[in-house]
Amino acid sequence: MQALIEQFFNLDIMVQAWPVLLGGLWVTLTLCALVIPLGLIGGLGAALLATSRYRAVRWAMVPVVDVFRALPPLVLLIFVYSGLPFAGVDLTPYQAVAIAFALNSSAYYGEIYRAGIASVPKGQLEAARSTGLSAAQTTAYVVLPQAVRTVLPDLVSNTIEVVKLTSLASVVALPELLYSADMARSITFNASPIVLAALLYLALLWPCVRLLSRLERRMAA
């Protein structure tokens, strides 16, 4: 028991690591502030293309989305970060993470929006068009608001996944929360800094998970 506390909940080490982890937390938050909007916007674009009036566009989107859903995000990240330099494209860790995660989360957000758009009854669309709204106006003012409402729990759930996703940036040495914690671990030979990072992730995401559970239950009722 004593060894367990020493190894996982060592307060002295946690206090020492605190400033480094706080810096890491800040990087994690800025990363989220970058990747979440990119994914939301990219996903909306992908969904609009996937529900386009033109069959060729719709069909072309299926393999594109499937490829980015099938590739593990870490594989995509390593490919962008370590693979592209061989082709003469040098990226900073920040740029590589932004590109890889924007592509990955756009594919996921896109699928969610698409399901939402599909759930809006056709009559809504016809009624909107018959009142004289253009196709773009119908999408923006009639279809999307209803679609987003329906899939709100899924959007929240995916956003939690994106926040968790940013921890992968540690693999390409971007000094976010997990990377900072792992640095502190390798210096102190003690797992407490990573436990502290886990506690910070929990502080950040546990309320979101609770909110999500409530949201899901309310939508189901």
Partner 1 sequence: MDRWELFLETFFKSEVITRYWPEILSGLWVTIEVALAVVVAGLALGLALAVLRAYRILAVTALIVVFVDMFRALPPLVVVLIFYFGLPNIGIVLSNWTVLWLVLTLVLAAFAEEIFWAGILSVPKGQWEAARSTGLGFGQALVWVVLPQAVRLTIPPLTNRTIAITKNTALGTVIGVGEILNQATTATSFSGNATPLMLGAIAYLLLFVPVVMVGRWIETRFAWERA
Interacting residues with partner 1 (CB under 8 A):
3-4, 7-8, 66-67, 69-76, 78-79, 82-84, 86-88, 160-161, 164-168, 170-171, 178, 181-182, 185, 190-191, 194-195, 197-198, 201-202, 205-206, 208-210, 213, 216-217, 220
Nearer Cβ to partner 1 (24/42): 24
Dump the DSSP string for 57-86. Answer: HHHHHHHHHHHHHHS-HHHHHHIIIIIGGG
- Distance in angstroms (rounded) separating the CA atoms of residues 17 and 19: 6
CB nearer to partner 1: give 44 or 171: 171
To the nearest whole angstrom, how small is the minimum distance from the Cβ of residue 110 to partner 1?
13
CB of 82 to partner 1, least distance (A): 6
Kindly state the smallest distance separating residue 96's Cβ from partner 1, in Å: 13
Q: Which is nearer to partner 1, 135 or 187 (CB)?
A: 187
Nearer to partner 1, 130 or 189 (CB): 189
Pick the closer one to partner 1 by CB: 48 or 108: 108
Least distance to partner 1, CB of residue 28, Å: 10
Q: Pick between residue 46 and residue 138 the one whose CB is nearest to partner 1.
A: 46
Residue 112 is which amino acid? I
**Least Å from the CB of residue 205 to partner 1:** 4
Q: Number of C-alpha atoms within 13 angstroms, CB side, residue 23?
A: 11
Long-range CB contact pairs, 193-202, < 8 A, 24+? 193/13, 193/14, 193/17, 193/20, 193/21, 195/8, 195/9, 195/14, 196/14, 196/17, 196/18, 196/21, 197/21, 197/24, 200/21, 200/25, 201/164, 201/167, 201/177
> CB 37 → partner 1: shortest distance, Å?
20
Q: Closest Cα to residue 35, out of 104, 81, 88?
A: 104
